[in-house]
Structure 1
Amino acid sequence: MFFSANKLCRFHIDATDGECGKVKDFLFDDVLNITRYIVVNTGGWLIERQVLISPVAVSQPDFDSYVLPTVLSKKNIEDSPAIQSDLPVSRQHEHNMALYYNWPMYWDSINSSTNTSVTVEPKQIEGDPHLRSVSEITGYHIQCMEGAVGHVEDLIIDTESWCLRYLIIDTRDWLPSKKVIIAFDWITHITWEDRKVHIDLTQNQVKNAPTYDPRLPVNRAYETQLYDFYGRPSYW
């Protein structure tokens, strides 16, 4: 199922023995475009304590009740290592958390699949430079072939695979006001230092693209219309 990241950030975490916090953000791999962690605020009114939960520990969101179920208990979540609000999350913290939850360490599988050395480099100790925040990218300018064309208003996450599937673009500051979506696969690169997402599309393509209505679901019929309009091969 496809869900807006902004809407998912209103969801409460439902542990096996009761509610335990609220979704605050998502951390994703900016190379593979996959959600690595769900950031959960387990604190009360006065104390904000943030912990990370892997998508492998959650079930499908319940949109009617705004609940994200998890297989973890309240104690599992509340006693897990807390994180600082600033990125990057240190690899040591990820290592400690993987040990705490008995989760596989995803960077080992990446190293293995790419036949790279598993030697820990200094940058890995400090933190994974490819681990980014969804809230960080929100507001970034969209840079097409001719220039700016809008800004990132939201992201759409596939909660079956936890891939980041689409960017929701608001064009009102550059073009006649409308919202469109573009696939993450059409991003050529992101320049984090100047907060720009670069895409290999023209301004006219974005201007004339099918309008995105947040009240309607992103389903296969809409995706087919979108990919046909852009003339791009479908991922499915």
Structure 2
Amino acid sequence: MRQLRKITDLKGYNFKARDGDIGTLKGCYFDDNSWLVRYLVVRTGSWLLGRDVLLVPSVILGVDQERKLIDVDLTCKQIESCPPVNTKLPVSRHYENEYYKYYGWEPYWVGELFFESPPHAAQRIEAKPPEKPQNPHLRSSDEVIGYQIEAQNGEPGHVAGLILDDEDWRIRYLIMDTKSWLPGKKVLISTPWAKTVIWAEQKIQLDVTCEQIESAPDYDPSKTISRDEEIRLYKHYGKTLE
């Protein structure tokens, strides 16, 4: 069943392959154009000396909240032999080509989005490097925490967290902390309302006003976000939830 989850709540969840444990969630990389999570960063255990590995969301079979367990449709051997990644550096398109070539999957930038066409069912093709270097628009989920938020008529707060949809693995909401303006208040901002993200200035510009944010429903992190609450939130901002 679809659920909206804070990325920080998923950190520490254990990943389990078809034949053994993999490691725990460290973070993710998302596409800064679509807010889709492209890779989950998993810190492996002692079996890979704590190495970080990347997993695409479409190999996830399910998320067990009670056991804090995420089942993955891969074997430990497949993961062990995949191209190593240095998560201290940006993920390059060259690495992505090597990654998809290793697994024999069609890259997400060719044809359909990966979550609509599971990679383990995709046509096996050779991923060809681009003729010119490309920016794959991948950003770390940790990178945007603390970014300043700029409304149409002021700067009411900063990004305090991210909420993703575990059905299509898209970041749906920014958690905005308004403590510099309205102490103790946190609100949700839907990512489609982010008009511009200025990465060089660590700033996100919104298509809403400070007055709308001030009167918006408070975000309670202890409660699950229901569909009705999403509809009310969109209605408050004069938006339509599709």
* Same fold, TM-score > 0.5, yes or no: yes
Distance in 2 (alpha carbons) for counterparts of 1:170 and 1:5: 16
Partner of 1:188: 195
1:86 Cα offset (Å): 3.1
Residues 150-173 of structure 1: CA deviation (Å, up to 9, x unaligned): 111111111111111111111112
Partner of 1:122: 132
What is the one-letter code of the residue matched to 2:152?
A: M
Give the 3-state SS of the residue equivalent to 1:94 in structure 2.
helix
Whether 2:144 is the aligned partner of 1:137: answer: yes
Distance in 1 (alpha carbons) for counterparts of 2:24 and 2:32: 24
Give the 3-state SS of the residue equivalent to 1:123 in structure 2.
coil
1:69 to 49, 68, 71: 71
Partner of 1:170: 177
Q: Which has the higher helix share?
A: 1
1:1-236 to structure 2, matched below 5 A, reads: 1-44=3-46, 47-109=49-111, 120-124=130-134, 127-128=135-136, 130-235=137-242
Q: Which runs of 5+ in 2 are unaligned?
A: 113-127
TM-score computed with the length of structure 2 as normaliser? 0.87
What is the one-letter code of the residue matched to 1:208?
A: S
Q: Is the 8 A contact 2:160 2:176 kept in 1?
A: yes
Q: Is the 8 A contact 1:60 1:160 kept in 2?
A: no
Q: Is the 8 A contact 1:140 1:197 kept in 2?
A: yes
1:46 Cα offset (Å): 11
Q: Is the 8 A contact 2:145 2:161 kept in 1?
A: yes
Shift in alpha-carbon separation, 1:144–1:45, aligned structure 2, 3 A = farther
State the number of aligned residues. 226
Q: Greater shift after overlay, 94-103 or 221-230?
A: 94-103
TM-score computed with the length of structure 1 as normaliser? 0.89
Q: Is the 8 A contact 1:27 1:38 kept in 2?
A: yes
Q: Which runs of 5+ in 1 are unaligned?
A: 111-117
Shift in alpha-carbon separation, 1:108–1:143, aligned structure 2, 3 A = same
Percentage of matched positions with identical amino acids: 39
Give the 3-state SS of the residue equivalent to 2:25 in structure 1.
strand
Q: Is the 8 A contact 1:60 1:159 kept in 2?
A: no
1:60 Cα offset (Å): 2.6
What is the one-letter code of the residue matched to 2:94?
A: Q
Distance in 2 (alpha carbons) for counterparts of 1:121 and 1:156: 36
